[in-house]
Structure 1
Amino acid sequence: MSTKLPSITDEVRTPPRKLALNLKPREELPDDAVEAHSREIGERWGSSTQIAPAEPSLPPKVLAPLVSVRFDCPDYLDRELSVQAAGQGVTKTYLILSALRQAGLRLEDADLVKDRRRWKK
């Protein structure tokens, strides 16, 4: 008597079982109970149970529409801007706009942003 082992193709072709979708709703749990249980699980598995606070997605003030301006500059100036921007944690655009403001051109405080790349739209 030989027993034939099922092949992988038999398992792939087998239609999936239907799930019981008529589950009863769970009873409401107080936030304290959920937090305590999360801490308990986190301690057991050595993981963090705190969620980092979300960064603000938009600046506090409405900004003026942006216009792209392109200009050529010497490569040594571009490198120096890159180094200074990285050292200060800002963008090259911020450094350039700051310099234009110091030269006497009008620039609203809300439009001088250290790192516009981090904003989510």
Structure 2
Amino acid sequence: MHSETPAGEPEDEANADDIDADPIADADDIDAHPKADADADPETPPTGRPGLGRKILLSVGASVVAISGIVGWIVGSNGAEAVPESTLFGTGLSIPTTPTTFALYGVVVSALILGVLFGLVELASRLEDGP
């Protein structure tokens, strides 16, 4: 049973235009909107706050260094009775097992490792931005 639309076309053919519409092409039209891409409009301000990532990384790094010192203090306090001296990474260099030396060792090692990692992140960021 074909009913007719007010324009005189069969109802099935009128809806055929809606069915034949390409949903992928419609999705591409949405992505092609100039405001959707920040690079498309030079007047669009960048999102986020400049320097916030650096502040977060430095805060996390400082927290890790502080925690390393606290853990070193605890290990040095508890390990002094069992092992009076500890050798560092098999280098032959030994340090006394005291809370102060282990706390200092934890702070120095974690600060060096994080400093190298953060330096590599900074280098990669500068290389990505270009000259």
TM-score, normalised on structure 1?
0.19
Structure with greater strand share of residues: 2
Structure with greater helix share of residues: 2
TM-score, normalised on structure 2?
0.18
Rg (Cα) greater in structure: 2
Which structure has more RCO (C-alpha within 8 Å, separation ≥ 6)? 1
